[in-house]
Structure 1
Amino acid sequence: MGLNQYTGYQRPRNSGPYLFFGFIPKTRACFRNTQGIMVNGQNLSFRNCDANANSHLVLFPNFSEAPMLGSGSSSFCQNIFLRSRNNPSGRMMPVEYFMFTEMHFGGCGCFSNTNTIHETVIAANIGFR
């Protein structure tokens, strides 16, 4: 995890202040093996074809709520958001908490942004337990 830094990973594509969550660093991505993430109890995986350390989520403040650098979304990225959940209370994030998310998972995994994944995804928050 880094605040405006990405030590051991590929650089985010978007610019500005950010909160970086890395999953598979260069020391592990170099094996070009099967990699992935578990989303609400379901395993999602892909084969890293180029050994780049791109497995990360990056949260950017986007106070203008305007689209940032985007890219087409692969099924791997789409499945992460399809398996994510809305807040159990049904509450929405306040406008002042709006976060734009860049998501990148290895070579041959995916690269996408919240503004290109699904029309109902406008913000992201990451929960840990």
Structure 2
Amino acid sequence: MMEPYLFLGFLPVNLTKKRTTQGYRAAKYDFTFRNCDANPNSYITFYYNPNNTYPSRVGEKEGTNNFMTGWIDRSSTLSRSKYMEIIFYFDFEMHMGGCGGFMTSYSVNNIRAALGFPFYKDNTQTTPTLKSTY
């Protein structure tokens, strides 16, 4: 409905079903939750959404789950020279296992997100980075 999209799964299903502590790292902070019911969802999807379609499920409202919004809350303002054109930001959906949470860009004040891969001259750091914008 909002296609095309880029789906990023984080954990193999056999790891998500073990009711373990799961999470992600953003801005040098760890955000974790205990998978309470072995729900295997562990992904973020970026939607190009050229028809501006509204998602069928909106997700949790902003401020209701610090785990889900940690990467947004810990975002920092970029210098003007590092701004990207708005066309590089997408609607998104994030779903993290049982008791982790589910949210979309529509549930957090229509924040759109971009996935950036920083590259350094010495090629020692290639960690993917999530960025958000209002």
TM-score, normalised by the number of residues in structure 2: 0.72
Structure 2 matches for 1:47-126, cutoff 5 A?
Answer: 47-69=34-56, 70-73=58-61, 74-89=65-80, 91-94=83-86, 96-117=87-108, 119=109, 121=111, 123-126=112-115
The C-alpha deviation readout for 1:46-85, integer Å capped at 9, x for no partner, is 0001212211110111224453231114221122211234
Pairwise CA distance, 1:45: 0.2
Where structure 2 has 5 or more consecutive residues not aligned to the other structure, the ranges are 118-125, 127-134
- Contact 2:47-2:92 at 8 Å conserved across structures: yes
Task: Indicate yes or no: 2:17 matched with 1:30.
Answer: yes
Task: Indicate yes or no: 2:30 matched with 1:43.
Answer: yes
Please give the alpha-carbon distance, in whole angstroms, between the structure 2 residues aligned to 1:78 and 1:25: 23
- Contact 2:20-2:34 at 8 Å conserved across structures: yes
The structure number with the bigger radius of gyration is 2
CA-atom RMSD, angstroms?
2.2
Q: Choose 58-67 or 99-108, whichever is displaced more.
A: 58-67
Amino acid at match of 2:60: G
Aligned length: 113
The C-alpha deviation readout for 1:9-56, integer Å capped at 9, x for no partner, is xxxxx7532111111121111110111100011000000012122111
- Contact 2:42-2:97 at 8 Å conserved across structures: yes
Pairwise CA distance, 1:104: 0.7
The C-alpha deviation readout for 1:69-116, integer Å capped at 9, x for no partner, is 31114221122211234444363533x444110001111001000121
Amino acid at match of 2:24: I
Identical counterparts, % of pairs: 32
- Contact 2:17-2:39 at 8 Å conserved across structures: yes
- Contact 1:35-1:45 at 8 Å conserved across structures: yes
The equivalent of 2:131 in structure 1 is none
Where structure 1 has 5 or more consecutive residues not aligned to the other structure, the ranges are 1-13
